[in-house]
Chains A and B, each alone.
Chain A
Amino acid sequence: MKSYHDITHDGGSDVAGQVSDRDRKLAENLAGVRHLVAVMSGKGGVGKSAMTVNLATEMAMRGLRTGIVDADINGASVVRMTGVRRTLPVSGELGVRPPLSDAGVRVMSIDLFLPDGMPVKWAAPSQEHAYTWRGMAEVNAVREMLADTDWGELDVLFVDLPPGTDKLPNLHDIIARVSAAVVVSIPSPASQYVVRKSVKLAREALADRPIGLVENMASFECSECGHVHALYTSDGLDMPGTVSLGEVPFDPDFGALLDAGHAHRALSDRGPAARGVSSVVDHLLTLLESVDQPVVR
Chain B
Amino acid sequence: MKFLCVECDQPMALRETLGPDNGSLSVIFECPSCGKETAMLTNHMETQMIHSLGVKVGGRNEPAAPMETIRDNLDGFEVVESAEPAEEPAPHSPEWYAQKMGGSPSAQPVGEGPGCPFSGMIAPQIEAASELTWTAEAQARMERIPSFIRPMVQKGIEDVARAEGTTHIDESVLERVRGQMGM
Contact = CB atoms under 8 A, between A and B. Distances in A.
B101 interface: no
How many B residues are at the interface, by size bracket?
Answer: 35 or more
A21 B63 contact: yes
Interface in A107-162: 110, 112-115, 118, 120-126, 128-130, 132-134, 136-137, 140-141, 143-145, 148
A144 B9 contact: no
B70 A114 contact: no
B66 A148 contact: yes
Interface stretch (A87-95, A163-171, A229-237): A87-95
B79 A91 contact: yes
A172 to B, nearest CB: 18
Contact of B78 (A15, A114, A123, A124): A114
How many A residues are at the interface, by size bracket?
Answer: 35 or more
B22 interface: yes
B69 A22 contact: no
B14 A126 contact: no
User: DSSP class of B's interface residues: helix, strand, loop or mixed?
Assistant: loop
Contact of A18 (B9, B20, B56): B56
Contacts of A13: 14, 55-59, 123
A175 interface: no
Given A90-B83, A122-B75, A126-B23, A7 B70 contact: no
Interface of B: 1-4, 6, 9, 11-14, 20, 22-23, 29, 44-45, 47-49, 51-60, 63-64, 66-70, 72-83, 107, 110, 113-114, 117-118, 123
Given A90-B80, A124-B23, 18 more contacts: A10-B1, A11-B11, A11-B29, A13-B55, A13-B58, A15-B55, A25-B63, A88-B80, A93-B82, A95-B67, A113-B67, A122-B75, A123-B73, A124-B48, A124-B117, A132-B48, A133-B51, A148-B66
